[in-house]
Amino acid sequence: MYSSKITGLGYYVPENVVTNNDLTTFMETSDEWIQERTGIKERRWIDPKTDDTTATMGAKAAKIAIERAGLTKNDIDFIVFATLSPDMYFPGGGVQIQDLLEMPTIGALDVRNQCSGFIYALSVADQFIKTGMYKNILVIGSENHSGALDKSTRGRNVSVIFGDGAGAAILSRCAEEGKGILSSHLHSEGKHAKELVLEGPATQRWVPEIIENNDDSDLSYYPYMNGQFVFKHAVSRFSEAIIEALQANNLQKEDIDMLIPHQANLRIAQYIQKKFNLSDKQVFNNIMKYGNTTAASVIIALTEAWEQGKIKDNDLVILAAFGSGFTWGSVILRW
């Protein structure tokens, strides 16, 4: 049985910065209201005049990660692409990456686990490497939220939260014992699916129905979130996922060098930090700058933390996420 290790990291966010004050020009809200509830000060939204899409942002992040891993595109054996906002209903973004990077005809897999997407994608890649099937896997989380948000006052509770961006990691076979991914832990609870959901368009609510209804009051074509319900479950499941990862490896919370939580809400991260008695140096947050980038959030945060020298050799790092589905999980690794 092999082990896997992250050997390259990269991220890309659109240049277009949208501040909380910018939002006040087209919806009833305020910088104070948004920061108090979410901790977000600004986010990146794609400028339609650019070539940025979910796939192209993923490709830009991937090029950086591949270079930092000391590899070429021809060294990559497989692609795992996590997103809730693909450029097309089908095919998925993974094959677009294969084309955009002009890679050999390697396999490409899409993961649709929303905010938990990168955790799920990384765990899948880890299993492929552990079994010996592949040696180097490109794992991407990328999102274009701004193209499908209700940016009116009606949709502000959701729209102020989300941002666009992409991150990528190279997961490679590791020969060092005790290094790399130690374990991954995945969960779901489908009975709460409609508490954080975008119901249509989908095969049960397809284009003819949209045209026939022509009803501006029908919100099923925009994301819906039961904020308080999601918050309550998130803080509980985040904690469970972290504890599960520690216990599986006979570790204690005092052993944590860095926690990278999914950037859903700064208040959730602060709650978890306090519960585990972690210092500011042990938890990395960047939601203030980027908002919630869903499947891209963990990998963007991980990359920034590493770039800033906050993750060092032999550090114990935990990645944790919770989101729509409900799905949640954690990955624990020795850097």
Domain residue ranges in the chain = 3-174, 180-334
Cα–Cα distance for residue pair 122/114, rounded to 1 Å: 13
Would you mind telling me the total number of residues written for the chain in this entry?
335
Per-residue pLDDT band at 146 (split at 50, 70, 90)? very high
Cα–Cα distance for residue pair 47/44, rounded to 1 Å: 9
Confirm whether 3-174 and 180-334 share one CATH topology.
yes
Instruction: Please state whether the peptide bond connecting residue 208 to the residue before it is cis, i.e. omega within 30 degrees of 0.
Output: no
Phi, psi (deg, nearest 5) at residue 259: -110, 125
pLDDT of residue 223: 82
Which residues are part of the catalytic machinery? 115, 262, 292
Class of domain 3-174: alpha beta
Per-residue pLDDT band at 214 (split at 50, 70, 90)? low
Residue 284: partners with Cβ closer than 8 Å, 6 or more residues away: 258, 259, 260, 301, 302, 304, 305, 310
pLDDT of residue 299: 98
- Residue with the larger pLDDT of the pair 178 and 168: 168
Location of structure tokens 């087209």: 26
pLDDT in tens, 45-103: 999 999 999 999 999 999 999 999 999 999 999 999 999 999 999 999 999 999 999 99
Residue 7: partners with Cβ closer than 8 Å, 6 or more residues away: 68, 69, 70, 71, 136, 170, 171, 172
CATH architecture of the domain with residue range 180-334: 3-Layer(aba) Sandwich (3.40)
Residue 228: partners with Cβ closer than 8 Å, 6 or more residues away: none
